[in-house]
A and B are shown apart, each in its own frame.
Chain A
């Protein structure tokens, strides 16, 4: 009786081992690394799809996507996994898709969309719009960048 249970245990283990190898070799799985300079949100994690705010327009990336390099605007990165989707707002950065279905998104800051306060966005936007009219070129340039980020935050539907 003992011997039997030992054998079934061994079989289960063997099966598990085979499965991991098969998964690693499978290039139909999209692997995502979403990294900030101070922390990594995703590190080589298998996901279904990721939507990114590219400089040339929003795009969805699935497995076996053609390799690309693209700059990102401030906007929403949506990570779709089997369990559901998570939305992050990023401050801009770069995405590169490698030939082996691997996506690297590097950005300076990223937070979950639900962590933003809509009121704060509104007040900051009002302030930035005031500064944008400033005679000082540096101040108005900075304010214009702020407006771009805040408006895309509003467009993303922060409540």
Chain B
């Protein structure tokens, strides 16, 4: 019992010293949280200003890709059922701090690869590349980076489509991207980029007059791959910007909450330290007198 009393006494004795230390600690922590809040707020503002541009890009690219889409609908083009040689193009970007944008693509890509283990994978963006390398390094055949800093352009998507065309022919090409639903929601979506063979095999291609000499279905397929990629990249870009804005908004709010909590703690601790010092001074003075 005495021993117990001694330890508590020792703890009390060291208490003021610990208070001084925590006061300093709280102060530095408070400062760093304030700095983080500044950064997240700025990132949120940057994302907000880019949002308008990204949404305009999406509206234009939706009209642009609707031309191809309507043609495929009327001609009833379908992807082949048996998946012998499949190419999966996962579209994401290089930068993080945007919620679950990259991980949702990675999750869906892994699910797809569990169904078709021998599919080849092309990644657009460093984040998705790293994720794919971790689990399916053997499937990865090609990757691109440096995309998604600005709204994607047709020049970028056609360069990518050219590189992909060099990989050889596939029975089925699928593009995985984040579809932009609203400024708070996105959805990982697959879209087929039809190959020349599947366009040739369309049920109602005979509805259209195709001048065999002047334009081939291979050219249509190549052009539509670039278009599909552009649409996927614009949707992904807008989703990413929206997700980043939301993530940074949440981070700023959380930082604000923490700043409030820590300022109260800081003031309370400072008060306690002052009270302790006063007690010391008064006790000292009264013992002298």
Contact = CB atoms under 8 A, between A and B. Distances in A.
Nearest to B209: A68
Given A35-B63, A37-B154, A71-B214, A99 B57 contact: no
Given A38-B57, A40-B60, A33 B67 contact: yes
Contacts of A133: none
Main secondary structure of the interface of A (DSSP, over half): strand
B245 to A, nearest CB: 22
A39 B59 CA distance: 8
Contacts of A33: 63, 66-67
B70 A68 contact: no
B230 A37 contact: yes
Contacts of A104: 66-68, 70-71
Interface in B54-102: 57, 59-61, 63-64, 66-68, 70-71, 74
A55 B219 CA distance: 12
A56 B213 contact: yes
Given A56-B211, A96-B208, A36 B60 contact: yes
B63 A43 contact: yes
Interface string A87-110: 000000110101100101110100
A69 B70 contact: no
A68 to B, nearest CB: 5
A71 B215 contact: yes
A60 interface: no
Contacts of A68: 208-211
Given A37-B60, A37-B153, A66-B209, A106 B74 contact: no
Interface in A24-56: 33, 35-40, 43, 54-56
Contact of B60 (A35, A70, A71): A35
A78 to B, nearest CB: 19
A36 B158 CA distance: 14
A63 to B, nearest CB: 17
A38 B61 CA distance: 6
B70 to A, nearest CB: 6
Nearest to B61: A37
A57 to B, nearest CB: 8
Contacts of B45: none
A126 B213 CA distance: 31
Given A36-B64, A38-B57, A67-B208, A108 B71 contact: no
17 contacts: A35-B66, A36-B60, A37-B153, A37-B157, A37-B227, A38-B154, A40-B60, A40-B64, A56-B215, A66-B209, A69-B71, A70-B215, A94-B220, A104-B66, A104-B68, A108-B154, A108-B158
Give the 7 A-B residue pairs with the shortest CB-CB distance, closest first: A104-B67, A71-B215, A55-B214, A56-B214, A37-B154, A40-B63, A35-B64
